[in-house]
Amino acid sequence: MSEVLRVGVVGVGIMGADHAERLVRRTAHARLVAVADPDEARAKELAGQFAGVRAVGDALELIGADDVDAVILASPGFVHEEQVLACLAAGKPVLCEKPLTMDSESSLRLVRAERDLGRRLIQVGFMRRFDPEYAQLRSVLAGGSLGRTLLLHNVHRNASVPNTDFRSEMIVRDSLVHEVDVARFLFGEEVAAVQVLSPASTSHASAGVVDPQVAIFTMAGGGIVTNEVFVNSQVGYEVRCEAVAERGSVIIGQPSTGLYSTALAVDGLGRWGGSVPADYRTRFATAYDLEVQAWVDSALQGESVGPSVWDGYAATAVSTAGMASLASGERVTVDLVDRPGPTTPASRTPTKEQS
């Protein structure tokens, strides 16, 4: 006999389909039982790729289903509050992709709802915390051998984004939010203020879209974080981070092919070898696998790991301040409520299934 977590996935876009395939192919002690999407035909198409998986059109129906023990939300952020609250009401662990919600007020409502429930059920999908390089960097900085961390420099580039309905604010809310969590994760403290600068935009951006953007975070302890986010770089998916401390610096996220060459090219110039991943699913494949496996294991054990609902709220609060700064160009203070006390871990009876 083995313990198996029966999982439903809400949202069948790129991320939801990726999670569905991950659950079926690469996650131990988990079984994908259902997928949900308002586009039920698309949900049926995804479900049809896997044996024994059903499709429904209503996310709340999936969340409330008796044969679903836990839920991954890969749905748009504007429906997260309703869906997370449904998971809490059903007593089911939920892995909610970022952003937790679209604004700090709704994220705070989820913090308070989980606190009132009295046990932790929410994990937020900041997968970089599970990336081996980011985890190793956190360990090095926390170990103290380099002294106090003074600066972080983050680079976050995408090849392109769809031009239809894309707005400058989406860079802050949907992309920069990862750098917010990285800063909090590596410094171990909150972001106190943010300023978003608007350089000249690339010709590849839609009219009126500010891309790239440069955001500067001031941490609660006085450290500074610089962030370049460029979503129409035309190259690929690049994410790098350099931490500068009192006795040295550490860089992660360099091209991962293992081949660096300064051999002369045909034009007589030196070249660095290596390739740039096409998208985030390649760059953070291991991180996503480790994240989902840790979530499944913790749900089965009645424990909680990974970014909490507070981490989701804090990141959303910084993004909310960042969008205000994008509009004004000014430095904006981040408004956070006092952090509530800890909740107890999730407690569930896992399903017993024959191996």
CATH code for position 194: 3.30.360.10
User: At 171, is the pLDDT very low, low, confident or very high (cuts 50, 70, 90)?
Assistant: very high
Residue 246 and residue 347 in one domain: no
Domain count, the chain: 2
Residue 62 and residue 197 in one domain: no
20 CB-near residues (< 8 Å, 6+ apart): 9, 12, 32, 35, 46, 49, 50, 53
Q: Above 50 in pLDDT, residue 261?
A: no
Q: Above 80 in pLDDT, residue 344?
A: no
Residue 179 and residue 298 in one domain: no
Is residue 321 domain-resident? no
Average pLDDT value for the chain: 91
Residue 108 and residue 177 in one domain: no
pLDDT value for 269: 52
Q: Above 90 in pLDDT, residue 270?
A: no
Model pLDDT for residues 7-56, shown as the tens digit of each residue:
999 999 999 999 999 999 999 999 999 999 999 999 999 999 999 999 99
Residue 160 and residue 270 in one domain: yes
User: At 314, is the pLDDT very low, low, confident or very high (cuts 50, 70, 90)?
Assistant: very high
Is residue 96 domain-resident? yes
User: At 255, is the pLDDT very low, low, confident or very high (cuts 50, 70, 90)?
Assistant: low
> Mean pLDDT throughout 295-314?
95
Percent residues over pLDDT 70 in the chain: 90
> Mean pLDDT throughout 330-355?
72
Q: Above 70 in pLDDT, residue 169?
A: yes
Is residue 316 domain-resident? no
Domain of residue 7, residue span: 2-127+288-307+339-353
pLDDT value for 267: 54
Is residue 80 domain-resident? yes
CATH code for position 32: 3.40.50.720
Is residue 121 domain-resident? yes
Q: Above 60 in pLDDT, residue 341?
A: yes
Residue 111 and residue 9 in one domain: yes
Residue 176 and residue 62 in one domain: no
Residue 250 and residue 264 in one domain: yes
Is residue 279 domain-resident? yes
